[in-house]
Amino acid sequence: MESYARGETEPPLIEETIGANFERTVASYGENEALVEFATARRWTYAELDRDVNALARGLMGAGIEKGDRVGVWSPNCAEWTIAQYASAKIGAILVNVNPSYRTHEFSYAVNQSGLRMLISAESFKTSDYRSMVEETEDRNPDLERVVYIGTSDWDALLAEGERLPQDAVATRLASLEPSDPINIQYTSGTTGYPKGATLSHRNILNNGFFVTETINFTHEDRLCIPVPFYHCFGMVMGNLGCTTHGATMVIPAPGFDPETTLRAVAEEKCTALYGVPTMFIAMQNHPSFADHDLTSLRTGCMAGSICPVEVMKHCVNDMHMAEVSIAYGMTETSPVSTQTRADDDLDRRTATIGRVHPHVEIKVVNPVSGETVERGEPGELCTRGYSVMIGYWDDHEKTDEAIDSDGWMHTGDLAEMREDGYCNIVGRIKDMVIRGGENIYPREIEEFLYTHPDIEDVQVIGVPDEKYGEELAAWVKLRQGADPLDAEKVRAFATGKLAHYKIPRYVLLVDEFPMTVTGKIRKVQMREETTLKLGLEPDDGDTKER
């Protein structure tokens, strides 16, 4: 059987804009708690949140923001981020998510590439002084007309500008919008070259948020703890839009991820669901105070953002009371989710796969060279098609055409296998696959095996240059607290007889952390560079495999 699957078609797609859908939720669940900012104890019902969203929407219109104008948000997670998300959607402004970890060079690129007219920004967070960076790059960003700093008189002044508009100004603008209109630009954390601005429509992200939480049986009674960043699809789509399409409660535990604060927020706010990338769940499960927090209110959640270790997933089910926890797989360019496990899946499917195809989506696994669909059980590139595929990369037709073929298939760059039952497994990135002496090695398989070592808390495996074999394996290992040090010889002894000899890492590096993007994706390109430098390895001149 071919590696192709099509998702169910019920319930139907939502054919409305984000603003219209939000107002429908407000009409049905106005007195429900909509938003909780745990760190400040600020709270909004849906009616109160709609009031503040409309006030900001009017302010943006009063400041001259038209349909299609780009408005950026540069801030860690906060209530104002969420308010800006829905306010911009109601007036048809395209929200540009600016990564809160950007520095001046990256910031200026995003501002100019997207054509930002206005920026809503935090003043500072941790080591980021946003106000200073804005001022430093003023000459480089000539089209950026206005910067509004959250929590200052700037915000109040913007709201005041909307007070002179007619009462029906927002409703009139909202009525002129279409579900197919672009509404969001998200910059991908590409490992080479400049980031690309994935341009997403109301239809893209409203439906994806809805179906992610529909798949984990959300209702208006659910309370979702969202420690993942809003600037990424995981936070603003799977999180915020997943909640507002169901009348559920969004709980922001802190501006940035803190494992203990997240655990406390779940316990004190009686959250029923929790999101996170694997590194977040690892940090929570291994925190010294883990056992002190009552997590019995939890029933579900999503783990996504990068490959999910089986052992970590089992801890979620057994120790965090997340019996219906789901693994979701996707990418920014597909709004983001394309496959997801279901709440009633058995433990194997919910711990060893990335699920099956999402509603209203098609997926297939193809030979990366020929493009032909492979048989089930064979590895190949995962491709996806449907409502969730982005409009394109902002102002970059060439890169868009490279990613989306003439038949509408988005090529993910991920290597996957589709099982006979239609469930899929990611075996690595095409560019992460290691070729050692002609043998194709998928780091994921080795990582999953090394997770079973009692002293290993986290591990990442990469390929590094080797004169004899072209590439060799190196493992970056993070040990559990109090564990005895490991070296390559001990790891080889643990793996001998359990893994083929060519899959056993030649090098082992003990580390405290891995280089990551803000969304928790491991930067394996950076790991390869650092390992090559540290071990004094030089790339083989004959190695032409793309990096």
When the pLDDT of each residue in the chain is averaged and rounded to a whole number, the result is: 93
- The pTM score is 0.85
Q: What token pair was written down for 20?
A: 């219209």
The predicted-structure confidence for 117-135, as pLDDT tens digits, reads as follows 999 999 999 999 999 999 9
Full set of structural domains in the chain with CATH? 46-178 (3.40.50.980), 432-535 (3.30.300.30)
Binned at pLDDT 50, 70 and 90, residue 542 comes out as: very low
Count of all residues that appear for the chain in the document: 547
Q: Which residues of 449-483 are buried (b: 16+ CB within 10 A; e: fewer)?
A: bbeebeebbbbbbbbbbbeebbbbbbbbbbbeeee
Element (H, E) at 85: helix 79-91
- Sign of the Cα pseudo-torsion (310, 313, 319, 324, in order): negative
The predicted-structure confidence for 211-234, as pLDDT tens digits, reads as follows 999 999 999 999 999 999 999 999
Asked if residue 487 has pLDDT above 80, the reply is yes
d(CA 290, CA 468): 47
User: For residues 392 and 199, is the Cβ–Cβ distance under 8 A?
Assistant: yes
The predicted-structure confidence for 49-105, as pLDDT tens digits, reads as follows 999 999 999 999 999 999 999 999 999 999 999 999 999 999 999 999 999 988 898
User: For residues 359 and 388, is the Cβ–Cβ distance under 8 A?
Assistant: no
For the chain, the first-to-last Cα distance in angstroms comes to 32
> Which residues does residue 71 pair with via DSSP β-bridges, in sequence order?
95, 118
* Rg (the chain; Cα; Å): 23
Distances in whole angstroms, Cα of residue 152 to Cα of each of 53, 54, 121, 223: 17, 19, 10, 30
Asked if residue 111 has pLDDT above 70, the reply is yes
Q: What token pair was written down for 273?
A: 């669901």
Binned at pLDDT 50, 70 and 90, residue 195 comes out as: confident
Pairing of strands 249-252, 223-225: parallel
The predicted-structure confidence for 147-194, as pLDDT tens digits, reads as follows 999 999 999 999 999 999 999 999 999 999 999 999 999 998 654 467
Lowest mean pLDDT among 264-273, 442-451, 532-541: 532-541
Binned at pLDDT 50, 70 and 90, residue 501 comes out as: confident
Q: Find, among 220, 226, 218, the residue nearest to 39 by Cα.
A: 226
Asked if residue 492 has pLDDT above 50, the reply is yes
